[in-house]
Structure 1
Amino acid sequence: MYAILHKFQGNRAMKTILWIVFFSMCGYLLGRAVVDPTKIRIILFAAISLVFTALSISQPRWVLFGLLIYLPFMGFLRRALIPSSGWSSFDPLVILAPAMIMLLGSYWVYWTYIRRQGIPKDEDTRLFKLVRWMILIDAVQVFNPLQGSLLTGLGGVMFYIVPLFWMVLSRIYLNGRWMKVICGTVCLIGVISALYGLKQIYYGFLNFEESWIDVAGYAALMIGNGSRAFSLYTNAAEYTLYLVISIVIAWVLLLRGTILLRLASVMMLPLLCYAMFMQSQRTPVFLTAFSLAIVTVMSVRRGAARVIITVIVGISLLASFSAITKIQSESALIAHQVNGLANPFDEEHSTALTHLAMFQNGLLHGFQMPIGQGLGITTLAAKMSDTGASSEVDLSNIMISDGIIGGAIYGLIIFEALRMAFREANSSTTGLIILGILLATIGSWSIGGNYSTCAIIWLCIGYLDKITLIRRRELSECVNNGSIVEK
């Protein structure tokens, strides 16, 4: 047998024939699969996964960048396949990005803990330690029986552990040049999605989008006789949050960018802001205004000028708010937005008090069940066991899922990330962008279903941690050099 195999290996003609037979069989099986419309999603998943898996070994940065492009368009792709392959909540295209991030994350876990390379003390930070503890607690909560099903816990991995791995991977692989490319790409996708979202509002949905609305029972879209847009994304909330992130990036580039970048920002901002306003969601408007005010003040480095800018920004916000509340329009979306902004604590026009009560109840649940109720119970994965308990705010969701300890660690992560962002905002434009993004999306850093925005947020946190580590090394070198000179 060995002699026969050796003879085959040395026979080029035989090897060629075997390869032809192999690829012919693969082509035949692929053709059979394509004929069956229900297999299209699996084929797409397999094809894209193979490309990303191959790149993950030698070009992990391109994998991260490719996934950042894929995620905003994932919802549109899934809906576009409805006419040919129907709709399924358990779509393999949804787990494509989480699977790739977990694959890259597993490389890090293998080399760090199994191969015991460890994390050098001079390459560690307080934030990174907190994130590693958060990953460990989340992993334990996967097996919490209170969530009703192990599948629910495994589903929770996609919404809580995967974002933390985005942080780890960006800390390892990204640099300043890549962050600039990512920020520009996010703005470009934001403009494209804003145009398509306004098309949905003014010209209606495509046939496959209407089919998806019917199947999903997406009643939250309807505001009077109007409808919110969801653009290219999996839901309207993710679309709105992506617009918010794009607005922050464009605004900071307007403040600190080159002439060309400022010109581009001037062209993008009206479209992005109008598209966000037409989503008729009040919390993003408040948080975006707050975030832009903070980054505008932080963009001025001198104390006296900063005071003047603070006064100007405050007056501008009051004037803008007053002007918005006086808008009168027949559009149900605009009327809903204006009434909510003008009456934020009126339950007839605003749901602010309802959301506040949900947040408080979520925190209270964490104290009532200090060991947590399971990783997946506050995510979309809870549908598998009918045990959903989302409070729609990430901190209170973590309190419900992970209990007091997990909630406390997550709260410290938020505090530490914001502290580092404020410090870095004084040093670089990218740091100012990250600060704006974190402030504008506070409460939504780990909300299940916001696939693309969660990836951007935690990628920014990872890069922030990396750049903070670099600053610390530079300061240490300066101190050492100073000591040498003195001697």
Structure 2
Amino acid sequence: MVLFCVCGYAIGRTVMDPSKIRMIFFASISLIFIALSIRYPRWMLFGLLLYLPFMGFFRRALIPSSGWSSFDPLVVLAPAMIMLLGSYWVYWTYIRRQPIDKEDDTRLFRLVRWMLLIDVLQIFNPLQGSILTGLGGVIFYVVPLFWMVLTRIHFNERWVKFIFGTVCAIGVISAIYGLKQIFYGFLSFEETWIDIAGYAALMVSEDESRAFSFFTNGAEYTIYLVISIVITWVSLLRGKLIVKLAAILVLPLLMYAMFMQSARTPVFLTSFAIAVVTIVSAKKTSTRWLAAIVMAGVLVLAFSAITRIDTSGSALIAHQVNGLANPFDEEHSTAMIHINMLLTGLMKGFTMPVGYGLGSTTLAGMKLSNTGHSSEVDLSNMMISNGLPGGIIYGLIIWEALRMAFREARSGTMGLIILGILLATLGGWSIGGNYSTCAIVWLSIGYLDVLTLKRRRELLKCENSVNAVKQPYTAT
């Protein structure tokens, strides 16, 4: 009772201070998630997937009452909960010495564990300026890998289907709200946040800006739309009749919202991913060739139609169309700038093989030690942060995940969705600041590993059955 009285008094005093409201919300939500993690870890993980897309809106909505701080405890809420469960796994696996059975291990999972080890070592790299920078990098590089590990442990097919359906629902809601921001403007606290953050990448012209919907930034919102489009497209290809009808209704909305974001790379990657999953979904080789020809024709016609759109009425449309029509023209496109950043980042892995530290390519590097130099592509970021060994391991993870995804896509809908997600987000699997989309990508990779283990067990069971049949009968 003394403890409850002290806690009640402390909460009462804290509530009277508006600057502490964010901390109160952090403590309250954390207690709920910690309680769930003890007995219902799946529901805690699902709750985090619901929280992350709306975290940016929630933080901005608190500006009128509690102001704004770039060091917001609400940002570390989800990473803290993932690290809690991930640390529990590390404790049982490496301290309590409960090794991973060979039957439950894969090449991808081994690579992820090596990546985790390199990330932990890079926390202490002095070249990043401060160990706080390294600890900040944990949020952006270690937490996504733990999403993969925890998915292997806690999620099955039913749960992942439910999660993908939830992602599509959130994608539709966020698309509506994002289009509202474009055509009807921002709410007062959103405008205040834009002024405080100095979000230059948001503005396309003096009068028009990209949307960010409920998310922390416009890039995360765009990638979330991309993931929703891929899931909806595969549902159109493989779903039941009612699912196909729903997909037909929401696909135009999602695609239009993505197009109005005036970002060219997501358009290219989404088109590529849709084409690939459509071809792979065909059952016969002849049908795949036909699908490839049809998709090539559709993409050419779509590209031709886009380049003829009237751009006089909107700066967003003009920016998008000019960039798609002139991808290598520096006046209309930043493609060459991004390519140069990618190549520069890859070269830094060779010139500084030990890396610059885990947080050097993240927001933590920019805020805590002014050493942030992101290349905006995850592979080259790994070469900068973790050096040559980390870059090689991460490149092998990408290769192995895509190889497994292509194999599983030929046999099931879930594998097809995961393949589409990985292709559509290629280069952005571990980009700091895209909290919700990184979680979905690595959850997909984790379930891809589950599908591989399931297939391995089925093959082993078939082999044992065949061997049992072939075994000669011995009379006793």
**Normalized against structure 1, the TM-score is what?**
0.95
Q: Quote the Cα distance in structure 2 between the aligned partners of 1:475 and 1:399.
A: 37
| 2:416 pairs with one of 432, 437, 457 | 432
2:474 counterpart residue number: none
2:397 counterpart residue number: 413
| 2:264 pairs with one of 261, 282, 294 | 282
| 1:127 pairs with one of 108, 112, 115 | 108
Q: Quote the Cα distance in structure 2 between the aligned partners of 1:28 and 1:363.
A: 54
2:201 counterpart residue number: 220
Q: Quote the Cα distance in structure 2 between the aligned partners of 1:267 and 1:252.
A: 14
Which residue type is aligned with residue 347 of structure 1?
E
Which residue type is aligned with residue 323 of structure 1?
A
Q: Quote the Cα distance in structure 2 between the aligned partners of 1:411 and 1:208.
A: 41
Q: Quote the Cα distance in structure 2 between the aligned partners of 1:415 and 1:148.
A: 32
| 2:95 pairs with one of 102, 114, 135 | 114
1:29 shift after superposition? 2.3
Which residue type is aligned with residue 193 of structure 1?
S
Q: Is 1:177 matched with 2:158?
A: yes
1:257 shift after superposition? 0.3
Match runs of 1:11-160 below 5 Å: 19=1, 22-160=3-141
Which residue type is aligned with residue 38 of structure 2?
I
1:427 shift after superposition? 1.2
Q: Quote the Cα distance in structure 2 between the aligned partners of 1:151 and 1:203.
A: 41
Q: Quote the Cα distance in structure 2 between the aligned partners of 1:132 and 1:107.
A: 15
Aligned in 2, Cα 1:22/1:372: closer, same or farther, shift over 3 Å?
closer
Q: Is 1:478 matched with 2:462?
A: yes
Match runs of 1:282-431 below 5 Å: 282-329=264-311, 330-383=313-366, 384-431=368-415
- Of stretches 437-446 and 327-336 in structure 1, the one that deviates more from structure 2 is 327-336
Overall identity of the aligned pairs, in %? 71
Which residue type is aligned with residue 335 of structure 1?
A
1:438 shift after superposition? 0.1
Q: Quote the Cα distance in structure 2 between the aligned partners of 1:362 and 1:280.
A: 25
Q: Quote the Cα distance in structure 1 between the aligned partners of 2:80 and 2:9.
A: 27
Q: Quote the Cα distance in structure 2 between the aligned partners of 1:190 and 1:79.
A: 20
Match runs of 1:188-207 below 5 Å: 188-207=169-188
Q: Quote the Cα distance in structure 1 between the aligned partners of 2:412 and 2:335.
A: 35
- SS at 2:152's partner residue? helix
Q: Quote the Cα distance in structure 1 between the aligned partners of 2:10 and 2:329.
A: 61
- SS at 2:427's partner residue? coil
- SS at 1:444's partner residue? coil
- SS at 1:327's partner residue? coil
Structure 2: gaps of 5 or more residues: 472-476
1:301 shift after superposition? 1.1
Q: Is 1:447 matched with 2:431?
A: yes
Number of residue pairs the alignment of both structures matches:
468
Q: Which runs of 4+ in 1 moved over 4 A?
A: none
Q: Quote the Cα distance in structure 2 between the aligned partners of 1:449 and 1:213.
A: 16
Structure 1: gaps of 5 or more residues: 1-18
Deviations 1:71-126 (A, max 9, x none): 00000000000000000010000000000000000110011010000101111000
- Of stretches 25-34 and 105-114 in structure 1, the one that deviates more from structure 2 is 25-34
Q: Quote the Cα distance in structure 1 between the aligned partners of 2:388 and 2:457.
A: 34
Which residue type is aligned with residue 410 of structure 2?
N
Q: Quote the Cα distance in structure 2 between the aligned partners of 1:245 and 1:444.
A: 12
Which residue type is aligned with residue 339 of structure 1?
N
- SS at 1:99's partner residue? helix
Deviations 1:233-259 (A, max 9, x none): 000000000000000000000000011
Deviations 1:311-368 (A, max 9, x none): 1111000000000011012100000000000000000000000000000000001100
Q: Is 1:273 matched with 2:241?
A: no
Which residue type is aligned with residue 69 of structure 1?
L
Q: Is 1:464 matched with 2:448?
A: yes
Q: Quote the Cα distance in structure 2 between the aligned partners of 1:22 and 1:278.
A: 54
Q: Quote the Cα distance in structure 1 between the aligned partners of 2:97 and 2:403.
A: 31
Q: Quote the Cα distance in structure 2 between the aligned partners of 1:350 and 1:161.
A: 33
- SS at 1:375's partner residue? coil
- SS at 1:23's partner residue? helix
Q: Quote the Cα distance in structure 1 between the aligned partners of 2:17 and 2:240.
A: 52
1:257 counterpart residue number: 239
1:22 shift after superposition? 4.4
1:27 shift after superposition? 2.6
1:24 shift after superposition? 4.0
**Normalized against structure 2, the TM-score is what?**
0.97
- SS at 1:279's partner residue? coil
1:203 shift after superposition? 0.6
Which residue type is aligned with residue 365 of structure 2?
A
RMSD between aligned residues: 0.8
1:186 counterpart residue number: 167
1:25 shift after superposition? 3.8
Q: Quote the Cα distance in structure 1 between the aligned partners of 2:17 and 2:247.
A: 46
Rg larger in 1 or in 2?
1
Q: Quote the Cα distance in structure 2 between the aligned partners of 1:405 and 1:25.
A: 51
Deviations 1:34-82 (A, max 9, x none): 1111111000000110011111111111111000000000000000000
Deviations 1:371-419 (A, max 9, x none): 1110000000012101111000000000000111100000000000000
1:143 shift after superposition? 0.2
- SS at 2:374's partner residue? coil
Q: Quote the Cα distance in structure 2 between the aligned partners of 1:217 and 1:271.
A: 29
